[in-house]
């Protein structure tokens, strides 16, 4: 080692002890090669990588340690280096014992001022793991000047921030990487107390106490250990770092050097991955709920269709006004249940955006009706102030309905901890026309809850931001709602002061430029027309019986088949003008029946209507789209069934 000290003293700074201590703790391989290609100096990282002791490496030739193949590739590089050229290189290297490794090296010649090159300094890092994972790219090293001192060449071009202080915590070295990391200039840092410059105030007293303990000969608790801490940039912002601290004693004085890596990007990437993972979990939950909803809706829609149909028939048969009123109330209650189920289905369907002329007031009433039970049981009074004769807007009713539901659910949750009375106000109106934009219909949802704090107001529309407790929300509702409204050409805003003292959201949507859709014209009863024969195919007897009664009351001749196989037998024995079939049945379902009809009775192919409560199913939706067959969703009104069947028949049939 004395020979090494002499060699280093001959080619480098005046104090080889401090230099060697610094080099031994650099988080990378550092070597010094003489003109004879033998190792003059190797640091601890180099020895650890090759599994050697210092006496096994110093004085050895490159070919002895790395093999002839690597040395032969080094020879032309060495000629350039000893010619005064600095080289930076990275790539894959096949080491004899360590195998294939991805290495980054910075090679530079060292020569005293005005003298010939006397040594080559190499700074190397093993980036194999980082390269394989593709998490980090190798950082470029700045070009080195051949006349720089050995210490300056290594420290100033290190890939990590290096800060050295004396025993009192005053900065004595602040390399370029530290300048970039902390946003401060080296010239301004030298002589400053490191705790006052780069350390958040809450950590400074502990740092000072630790320095005092070390200076008094106390235990070194953090030296040599990787630590994750927080540091302070020049603009006062905090950021996470990873730091390794070591001590160097020079001439009886202690110096401390910290190797610092900024973890900001790594932390941000981890947080983004977690956000994406949470969004995926929520998406999977919604998909599972959609599948469950499809099954529940199918089971509910059959009895609802029976109740609605029978109540309608009973209403038409009652001569007594009181009985007719009772039947009407039953029908209206069943229709309300049907609207609620249909609203749920519309929310869960995966279907393309379909904009049409809609009335905002109708969507408000539908949303309130859907949440009526929850609002009532939560002790919330809903007041509607809906403007009369509002013009229509061009919108996707499902999307706007979901926005309304989200605003109402948010208001309901905000009022859950508010003492009574709990109030929600929904207002609509027409904006006056401005020169800068076309007139809009506006809607306001306000509550008398605690409102939104000034701290959170700026973030309420930010994705994944939520003030709800864990599991109470995803932080996506308002963000998605605003995006939906803006896609419609409108906007969703958080108002400064709500009319009820709590939160108030105001939505606006441009008026529709399309002409209003014509009102459907009721089809005349075909009492005098010749009887048309209709085959009803349904595995549920009550629903099949209901459809038979409805169609027979409309002057159709009706036959019933409880399965698809029976339906095919009847089609082979008798003439039918139309087929009404359930889409979802055991054994042969509606799709299979359609395929058989296509082969055996092609003239009836376009005279089939499928009754289903399962249009949420991707298979059902795809079948109806591909075949173009008519569909009637359960629960249905008797008039809808009659109108759909008549629409299938050609004139005169």
Rounded to whole angstroms, the Cα distance separating 33 from 122 reads 8
Q: Please write the tens of the pLDDT for every residue from 27-68.
A: 888 888 888 889 888 888 888 888 888 888 888 888 888 888
Rounded to whole angstroms, the Cα distance separating 475 from 274 reads 14
The residue assigned the tokens 């008797």 is 638
Three-state helix/strand/coil letters over 521-586:
CCCCCCCCCCCEEEEEECCCHHHHHHHHHHHHHCCEEEEEECCHHHHHHHHHHCCCCEEEEECCCC
Burial 179-216 (b: 16+ CB within 10 A, else e): bebbebeeeebeebbbbebbbeeeeeeeeeebbeebee
pLDDT value of position 6 = 57
Contacting residues for 469 by C-beta, under 8 A, at least 6 apart? none
pLDDT value of position 154 = 59
Q: Please write the tens of the pLDDT for every residue from 87-96.
A: 888 888 888 8
- Is the pLDDT assigned to residue 138 strictly greater than 60? no
DSSP letter, residue 52: -
**Poorest-confidence range of 330-339, 342-351, 491-500, 636-645?**
342-351
Comparing 18 with 558, the larger pLDDT belongs to: 558
Q: What is the mean pLDDT of residues 574-583?
A: 90
Pairing of strands 556-561, 608-612: unpaired
pLDDT value of position 173 = 86
- The domains of the chain, with CATH numbers, are 2-151 (3.30.450.20), 161-262 (3.30.450.20), 351-517 (3.30.565.10), 532-648 (3.40.50.2300)
pLDDT category, 466, cuts 50, 70, 90?
low
Per the prediction, the chain carries an average pLDDT of: 79
**Poorest-confidence range of 16-30, 68-82, 444-458?**
16-30
Rounded to whole angstroms, the Cα distance separating 333 from 325 reads 12
Rounded to whole angstroms, the Cα distance separating 141 from 139 reads 6
Comparing 354 with 639, the larger pLDDT belongs to: 639
Please count the CA atoms within 13 angstroms of the CA of 140 that sit on its side-chain side.
2
> Long-range pairs for 476-480 at CB < 8 Å and ≥24 separation?
476/279, 476/282, 477/406, 477/409, 477/410, 478/406, 478/410, 480/406
* Residue 192, SS3 per DSSP: coil
- Is the pLDDT assigned to residue 633 strictly greater than 70? yes
pLDDT category, 535, cuts 50, 70, 90?
very high
Closest CA to 298 of 638, 620, 626, 622: 620
Percent of the chain with pLDDT over 90: 6
31 in Cβ contact with 122 (< 8 Å): yes
pLDDT value of position 536 = 92
pLDDT category, 333, cuts 50, 70, 90?
confident
pLDDT category, 331, cuts 50, 70, 90?
confident
Comparing 69 with 301, the larger pLDDT belongs to: 69
Residue 163 backbone dihedrals phi, psi, to 5 degrees? -125, 125
Tell how far CA 210 is from the center of its chain. Answer: 43
pLDDT category, 140, cuts 50, 70, 90?
very low
**Poorest-confidence range of 238-242, 281-285, 589-593?**
281-285
- Is the pLDDT assigned to residue 652 strictly greater than 70? no
pLDDT category, 579, cuts 50, 70, 90?
very high
- Is the pLDDT assigned to residue 355 strictly greater than 50? yes
- Is the pLDDT assigned to residue 526 strictly greater than 50? no
pLDDT value of position 309 = 75
pTM of the model: 0.39
Q: Please write the tens of the pLDDT for every residue from 407-423.
A: 888 888 888 888 888 99
pLDDT value of position 520 = 43
Tell how far CA 648 is from the center of its chain. Answer: 46
Rounded to whole angstroms, the Cα distance separating 549 from 317 reads 12
pLDDT value of position 351 = 52
Contacting residues for 217 by C-beta, under 8 A, at least 6 apart? none
331-345, 474-488, 624-638: which is most confident: 624-638
pLDDT value of position 147 = 38
CA dist list (Å): 130 to 63, 137, 139, 187, 244: 28, 8, 12, 33, 19
> What tokens appear for 588 in the block?
């042969």
pLDDT category, 436, cuts 50, 70, 90?
low
Q: What is the mean pLDDT of residues 122-129?
A: 83
173 in Cβ contact with 164 (< 8 Å): yes
Sign of the Cα torsion 20, 21, 24, 26 reads negative
Comparing 242 with 210, the larger pLDDT belongs to: 242
Tell how far CA 248 is from the center of its chain. Answer: 48
Tell how far CA 265 is from the center of its chain. Answer: 18
**Poorest-confidence range of 71-75, 103-107, 152-156?**
152-156
- Is the pLDDT assigned to residue 618 strictly greater than 80? no
Rounded to whole angstroms, the Cα distance separating 400 from 355 reads 10
């Amino acid at each position: 080692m004395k020979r090494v000290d002499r060699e280093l003293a001959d080619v480098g700074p005046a104090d080889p002890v401090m230099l060697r201590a610094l080099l031994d703790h650099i988080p990378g391989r550092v070597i010094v090669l003489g003109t004879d290609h033998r190792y003059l100096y190797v640091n601890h990282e180099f020895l650890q990588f090759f599994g050697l002791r210092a006496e096994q490496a110093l004085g050895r030739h490159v070919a002895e340690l790395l093999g002839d193949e690597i040395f032969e590739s080094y020879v032309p590089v060495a000629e350039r280096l000893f010619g005064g050229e600095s080289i930076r290189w990275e790539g894959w290297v096949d080491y004899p014992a360590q195998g294939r490794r991805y290495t980054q090296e910075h090679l530079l010649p060292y020569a005293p001022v005005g003298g010939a090159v006397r040594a080559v300094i190499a700074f190397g890092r093993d980036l194999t793991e980082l390269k394989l994972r593709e998490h980090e790219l190798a950082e470029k090293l700045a070009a080195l000047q051949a006349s720089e001192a050995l210490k300056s060449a290594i420290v100033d071009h290190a890939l990590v921030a290096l800060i050295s202080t004396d025993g009192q915590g005053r900065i004595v070295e602040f390399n370029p990487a530290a300048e970039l990391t902390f946003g401060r200039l080296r010239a301004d840092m030298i002589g400053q107390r490191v705790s006052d410059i780069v350390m958040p105030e809450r950590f400074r007293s502990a740092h000072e106490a630790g320095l005092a303990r070390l200076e008094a000969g106390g235990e070194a608790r953090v030296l040599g250990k990787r630590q994750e801490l927080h540091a302070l940039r020049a603009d006062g912002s905090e950021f996470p770092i990873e730091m390794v601290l070591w001590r160097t004693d020079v001439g009886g004085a202690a110096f401390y050097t910290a190797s610092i890596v900024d973890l900001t990007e790594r932390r941000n990437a981890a947080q983004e991955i977690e956000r994406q993972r949470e969004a995926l979990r929520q998406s999977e939950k919604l998909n599972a709920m959609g599948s469950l909803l499809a099954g529940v809706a199918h089971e509910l829609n059959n009895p609802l269709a029976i109740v609605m149909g029978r109540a309608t028939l009973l209403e038409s048969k009652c001569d007594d006004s009181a009985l007719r009123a009772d039947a009407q109330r039953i029908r209206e209650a069943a229709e309300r249940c049907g609207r609620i189920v249909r609203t749920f289905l519309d929310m869960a369907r995966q279907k393309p955006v379909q904009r049409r002329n809609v009335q905002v007031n109708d969507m408000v009433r539908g949303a309130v009706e859907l949440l009526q039970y929850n609002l009532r049981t939560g002790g919330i009074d809903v007041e509607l102030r809906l403007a009369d004769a509002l013009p229509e807007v061009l919108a996707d009713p499902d999307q706007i309905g979901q926005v309304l539901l989200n605003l109402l659910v948010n208001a309901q949750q905000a009022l859950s901890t508010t003492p009574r009375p709990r109030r929600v106000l929904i207002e609509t109106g027409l904006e006056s026309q401005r020169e800068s934009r076309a007139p809009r219909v506006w809607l306001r949802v306000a509550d008398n809850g605690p409102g939104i704090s000034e701290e959170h107001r700026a973030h309420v529309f930010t994705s994944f931001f939520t003030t709800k407790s864990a599991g109470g929300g995803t932080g996506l509702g308002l963000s998605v709602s605003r995006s939906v409204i803006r896609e419609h050409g409108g906007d969703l805003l958080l108002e400064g002061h709500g009319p009820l003292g709590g939160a108030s959201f105001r939505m606006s949507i441009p008026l529709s430029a399309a002409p209003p859709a014509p009102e459907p014209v009721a089809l005349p009863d075909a009492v005098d027309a010749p009887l048309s024969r209709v085959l009803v195919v349904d595995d549920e007897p009550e629903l099949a019986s209901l459809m038979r009664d409805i169609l027979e009351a409309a002057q159709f001749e009706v036959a019933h088949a409880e399965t698809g196989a029976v339906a095919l037998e009847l089609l082979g024995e008798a003439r039918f003008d139309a087929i009404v079939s359930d889409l979802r049945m055991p054994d042969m379902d509606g799709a299979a029946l359609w395929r058989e009809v296509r082969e055996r009775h092609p003239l009836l192919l376009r005279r089939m209507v499928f009754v289903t409560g399962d249009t949420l199913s991707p298979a059902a939706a795809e079948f109806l789209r591909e075949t173009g067959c008519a569909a009637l969703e359960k629960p249905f009104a008797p008039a809808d069934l009659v109108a759909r069947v008549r629409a299938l028949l050609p004139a005169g049939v």
